[in-house]
Structure 1
Amino acid sequence: MQIRISWPSGHLTATLDDTPTAQALAKALPLVSTAHTWGQEVYFDTGVSVPRETSARQVVEPGTVAFWTDGDALALPYGPTPISRGDECRLASPCNVLGRLDDEPGHLATVRDGDPVRVELVEN
Protein backbone atom coordinates (compact mmCIF):
# COMPACT_ATOMS: atom_id res chain seq x y z
CA MET A 1 0.00 0.00 0.00
CA GLN A 2 1.29 3.45 -0.87
CA ILE A 3 0.42 6.80 0.70
CA ARG A 4 1.18 10.40 -0.25
CA ILE A 5 2.08 12.92 2.46
CA SER A 6 1.71 16.55 1.29
CA TRP A 7 2.48 19.91 2.91
CA PRO A 8 2.67 23.46 1.47
CA SER A 9 6.26 23.19 0.21
CA GLY A 10 6.40 19.55 -0.88
CA HIS A 11 5.25 15.96 -0.75
CA LEU A 12 6.61 12.44 -0.33
CA THR A 13 5.24 8.98 -0.96
CA ALA A 14 5.69 6.02 1.35
CA THR A 15 5.15 2.29 1.02
CA LEU A 16 3.44 0.73 4.02
CA ASP A 17 3.71 -2.89 5.12
CA ASP A 18 0.58 -4.94 5.75
CA THR A 19 0.30 -4.41 9.51
CA PRO A 20 -2.74 -3.91 11.75
CA THR A 21 -1.71 -0.28 12.33
CA ALA A 22 -1.25 0.41 8.60
CA GLN A 23 -4.70 -1.08 7.92
CA ALA A 24 -6.28 1.11 10.63
CA LEU A 25 -4.56 4.19 9.18
CA ALA A 26 -5.69 3.35 5.63
CA LYS A 27 -9.32 3.22 6.79
CA ALA A 28 -8.96 6.79 8.15
CA LEU A 29 -7.55 8.24 4.91
CA PRO A 30 -7.65 10.81 3.51
CA LEU A 31 -6.83 12.92 6.56
CA VAL A 32 -5.70 16.48 7.15
CA SER A 33 -3.69 17.41 10.22
CA THR A 34 -1.20 19.96 11.56
CA ALA A 35 2.53 19.24 11.45
CA HIS A 36 4.73 19.41 14.53
CA THR A 37 8.52 19.20 14.46
CA TRP A 38 10.80 17.70 17.10
CA GLY A 39 14.44 17.88 16.13
CA GLN A 40 14.65 16.17 12.75
CA GLU A 41 11.26 14.48 13.04
CA VAL A 42 7.87 15.53 11.73
CA TYR A 43 4.80 14.18 13.48
CA PHE A 44 1.08 14.86 13.32
CA ASP A 45 -2.17 13.60 14.81
CA THR A 46 -4.13 11.04 12.79
CA GLY A 47 -7.25 10.57 14.90
CA VAL A 48 -6.45 6.82 14.79
CA SER A 49 -5.98 4.99 18.08
CA VAL A 50 -4.23 1.60 18.03
CA PRO A 51 -2.28 -0.48 20.57
CA ARG A 52 1.50 -0.74 20.52
CA GLU A 53 2.59 -3.76 18.48
CA THR A 54 5.12 -6.26 19.84
CA SER A 55 7.57 -5.21 17.09
CA ALA A 56 7.47 -1.51 18.12
CA ARG A 57 10.88 0.21 18.09
CA GLN A 58 12.26 3.45 19.51
CA VAL A 59 15.41 3.72 17.39
CA VAL A 60 14.72 3.55 13.64
CA GLU A 61 16.39 4.44 10.35
CA PRO A 62 15.84 7.84 8.72
CA GLY A 63 12.80 7.60 6.43
CA THR A 64 10.93 5.10 8.59
CA VAL A 65 7.18 5.64 8.72
CA ALA A 66 6.29 5.08 12.36
CA PHE A 67 3.08 5.35 14.38
CA TRP A 68 3.41 6.90 17.83
CA THR A 69 0.71 5.09 19.82
CA ASP A 70 1.10 7.42 22.82
CA GLY A 71 0.02 10.37 20.66
CA ASP A 72 -2.12 8.73 17.93
CA ALA A 73 0.33 10.29 15.48
CA LEU A 74 2.41 9.43 12.44
CA ALA A 75 6.09 10.05 13.20
CA LEU A 76 8.47 10.64 10.29
CA PRO A 77 12.10 10.87 11.45
CA TYR A 78 14.77 12.06 9.03
CA GLY A 79 17.62 12.64 11.49
CA PRO A 80 18.41 13.06 15.19
CA THR A 81 15.76 14.12 17.71
CA PRO A 82 16.43 15.92 21.01
CA ILE A 83 16.88 12.55 22.78
CA SER A 84 19.03 10.87 20.11
CA ARG A 85 22.45 9.50 20.95
CA GLY A 86 24.73 10.58 18.12
CA ASP A 87 23.17 10.52 14.65
CA GLU A 88 20.45 7.95 15.40
CA CYS A 89 16.72 8.59 14.93
CA ARG A 90 15.35 8.05 18.45
CA LEU A 91 11.59 8.44 18.77
CA ALA A 92 9.89 9.73 21.93
CA SER A 93 8.83 6.18 22.85
CA PRO A 94 8.57 2.83 21.01
CA CYS A 95 6.46 3.22 17.87
CA ASN A 96 4.77 0.79 15.50
CA VAL A 97 6.79 0.62 12.27
CA LEU A 98 4.51 0.95 9.23
CA GLY A 99 6.94 1.16 6.32
CA ARG A 100 9.42 3.47 4.58
CA LEU A 101 9.44 6.71 2.66
CA ASP A 102 9.99 6.12 -1.07
CA ASP A 103 11.78 9.45 -1.48
CA GLU A 104 14.71 11.24 0.19
CA PRO A 105 13.79 11.66 3.90
CA GLY A 106 15.64 15.00 3.99
CA HIS A 107 12.74 16.60 2.07
CA LEU A 108 10.93 16.60 5.44
CA ALA A 109 13.23 19.45 6.50
CA THR A 110 10.94 21.79 4.52
CA VAL A 111 7.98 21.02 6.82
CA ARG A 112 7.38 23.87 9.27
CA ASP A 113 5.74 23.52 12.67
CA GLY A 114 2.05 24.34 12.14
CA ASP A 115 1.97 23.46 8.41
CA PRO A 116 -1.18 21.71 7.21
CA VAL A 117 -0.44 18.10 6.23
CA ARG A 118 -2.60 15.85 4.07
CA VAL A 119 -2.23 12.07 3.90
CA GLU A 120 -4.02 10.05 1.23
CA LEU A 121 -3.86 6.64 -0.39
CA VAL A 122 -2.11 6.50 -3.76
CA GLU A 123 -4.31 4.70 -6.26
CA ASN A 124 -2.44 2.18 -8.39
Structure 2
Amino acid sequence: MQIRISWPAGHLIASLENTPTAQALGKALPLVSTAHTWGEEVYFDTGVSVSRETDARQVVEPGTVAFWTDGDALALPYGPTPISRGDECRLASPCNVLGSVDGDAAVLATVRDGDPIRVELIDA
Protein backbone atom coordinates (compact mmCIF):
# COMPACT_ATOMS: atom_id res chain seq x y z
CA MET A 1 0.00 0.00 0.00
CA GLN A 2 1.28 3.47 -0.84
CA ILE A 3 0.27 6.73 0.79
CA ARG A 4 0.89 10.38 -0.05
CA ILE A 5 1.63 12.76 2.83
CA SER A 6 1.24 16.44 1.87
CA TRP A 7 1.88 19.74 3.66
CA PRO A 8 2.11 23.35 2.43
CA ALA A 9 5.80 23.19 1.43
CA GLY A 10 5.88 19.70 -0.07
CA HIS A 11 4.85 16.06 -0.07
CA LEU A 12 6.25 12.56 -0.01
CA ILE A 13 5.21 9.06 -0.92
CA ALA A 14 5.59 6.17 1.51
CA SER A 15 5.20 2.42 1.09
CA LEU A 16 3.51 0.53 3.91
CA GLU A 17 3.77 -3.16 4.77
CA ASN A 18 0.66 -5.27 5.26
CA THR A 19 0.43 -4.98 9.06
CA PRO A 20 -2.65 -4.72 11.30
CA THR A 21 -1.77 -1.09 12.07
CA ALA A 22 -1.27 -0.20 8.39
CA GLN A 23 -4.64 -1.80 7.58
CA ALA A 24 -6.36 0.23 10.33
CA LEU A 25 -4.71 3.41 9.06
CA GLY A 26 -5.69 2.65 5.47
CA LYS A 27 -9.35 2.39 6.46
CA ALA A 28 -9.17 5.87 8.06
CA LEU A 29 -7.75 7.58 4.95
CA PRO A 30 -7.93 10.22 3.69
CA LEU A 31 -7.26 12.22 6.83
CA VAL A 32 -6.24 15.77 7.64
CA SER A 33 -4.32 16.64 10.78
CA THR A 34 -1.94 19.20 12.28
CA ALA A 35 1.80 18.58 12.13
CA HIS A 36 4.00 18.69 15.21
CA THR A 37 7.80 18.59 15.19
CA TRP A 38 10.11 17.05 17.78
CA GLY A 39 13.75 17.39 16.85
CA GLU A 40 14.05 15.85 13.38
CA GLU A 41 10.71 14.05 13.57
CA VAL A 42 7.27 15.02 12.31
CA TYR A 43 4.25 13.51 14.00
CA PHE A 44 0.51 14.07 13.84
CA ASP A 45 -2.73 12.66 15.21
CA THR A 46 -4.57 10.14 13.03
CA GLY A 47 -7.72 9.46 15.04
CA VAL A 48 -6.79 5.76 14.75
CA SER A 49 -6.31 3.79 17.96
CA VAL A 50 -4.42 0.48 17.84
CA SER A 51 -2.41 -1.69 20.20
CA ARG A 52 1.37 -1.86 20.22
CA GLU A 53 2.54 -4.72 18.01
CA THR A 54 5.05 -7.32 19.26
CA ASP A 55 7.81 -6.01 16.95
CA ALA A 56 7.40 -2.33 17.94
CA ARG A 57 10.72 -0.45 18.03
CA GLN A 58 11.97 2.78 19.59
CA VAL A 59 15.14 3.21 17.50
CA VAL A 60 14.47 3.19 13.75
CA GLU A 61 16.12 4.23 10.51
CA PRO A 62 15.55 7.73 9.08
CA GLY A 63 12.51 7.65 6.82
CA THR A 64 10.70 4.96 8.79
CA VAL A 65 6.92 5.34 8.88
CA ALA A 66 6.02 4.53 12.48
CA PHE A 67 2.78 4.56 14.45
CA TRP A 68 3.04 5.97 17.96
CA THR A 69 0.37 3.99 19.84
CA ASP A 70 0.68 6.20 22.96
CA GLY A 71 -0.50 9.21 20.92
CA ASP A 72 -2.57 7.64 18.09
CA ALA A 73 -0.13 9.38 15.77
CA LEU A 74 2.02 8.74 12.74
CA ALA A 75 5.68 9.44 13.52
CA LEU A 76 8.05 10.25 10.66
CA PRO A 77 11.66 10.54 11.87
CA TYR A 78 14.30 11.85 9.48
CA GLY A 79 17.12 12.46 12.00
CA PRO A 80 17.85 12.73 15.72
CA THR A 81 15.16 13.58 18.27
CA PRO A 82 15.77 15.25 21.65
CA ILE A 83 16.31 11.82 23.26
CA SER A 84 18.53 10.32 20.53
CA ARG A 85 21.99 9.04 21.34
CA GLY A 86 24.25 10.32 18.59
CA ASP A 87 22.70 10.38 15.11
CA GLU A 88 20.06 7.69 15.72
CA CYS A 89 16.31 8.23 15.26
CA ARG A 90 14.95 7.49 18.75
CA LEU A 91 11.17 7.75 19.07
CA ALA A 92 9.40 8.84 22.27
CA SER A 93 8.44 5.21 23.02
CA PRO A 94 8.30 1.95 21.03
CA CYS A 95 6.21 2.40 17.87
CA ASN A 96 4.66 0.03 15.35
CA VAL A 97 6.74 0.08 12.16
CA LEU A 98 4.51 0.46 9.10
CA GLY A 99 6.96 0.98 6.27
CA SER A 100 9.26 3.64 4.88
CA VAL A 101 9.40 6.86 2.91
CA ASP A 102 10.16 6.45 -0.80
CA GLY A 103 13.13 8.69 -1.56
CA ASP A 104 14.83 11.19 0.74
CA ALA A 105 13.07 11.66 4.08
CA ALA A 106 14.99 14.94 4.61
CA VAL A 107 12.12 16.68 2.73
CA LEU A 108 10.32 16.43 6.08
CA ALA A 109 12.56 19.28 7.30
CA THR A 110 10.21 21.62 5.39
CA VAL A 111 7.28 20.71 7.66
CA ARG A 112 6.59 23.44 10.24
CA ASP A 113 4.93 22.88 13.60
CA GLY A 114 1.22 23.62 13.12
CA ASP A 115 1.18 22.96 9.34
CA PRO A 116 -1.93 21.24 8.02
CA ILE A 117 -1.00 17.75 6.87
CA ARG A 118 -3.01 15.40 4.64
CA VAL A 119 -2.60 11.66 4.24
CA GLU A 120 -4.27 9.77 1.41
CA LEU A 121 -4.07 6.39 -0.29
CA ILE A 122 -2.51 6.21 -3.72
CA ASP A 123 -4.50 4.00 -6.07
CA ALA A 124 -2.56 0.92 -7.02
TM-score (norm 2): 1.00
Write the distance in 2 (CA, Å) between the matches of 1:105 and 1:18. Answer: 21
Identity %: 84
Name the CA distance, whole Å, in 1 between partners of 2:37 and 2:19: 25
Give me the whole-angstrom Cα distance separating, in 2, the residues matched to 1:111 and 1:21.
Answer: 24
Distance apart, 1:103 and its partner CA = 1.9
- Paired residues, number: 124
What is the identity, as a one-letter code, of the residue corresponding to 2:54? T
Q: Return the offset for 1:40.
A: 0.1
Provide TM-score, normalisation by structure 1.
1.00
Which residue does the alignment assign to 1:12?
12
1:2-23 Cα offsets, whole Å, 9 max, x none, are 0000000000000000000000
| Per-residue CA distance 1:70-116 (angstroms, 9 max, x = gap) | 00000000000000000000000000000000021000000000000
Aligned counterparts, 1:33-112, within 5 A: 33-112=33-112
Write the distance in 1 (CA, Å) between the matches of 2:32 and 2:103.
21
Q: Which runs of 4+ in 1 moved over 6 A?
A: none
Corresponding residue of 1:31:
31
CA distance in 2, matches of 1:44, 1:77: 12
- Report the RMSD for the aligned CA atoms in angstroms: 0.3
Structure 1 regions of 5+ residues with no counterpart?
none
Gaps of 5+ in 2: none
- Letter paired with 1:42: V
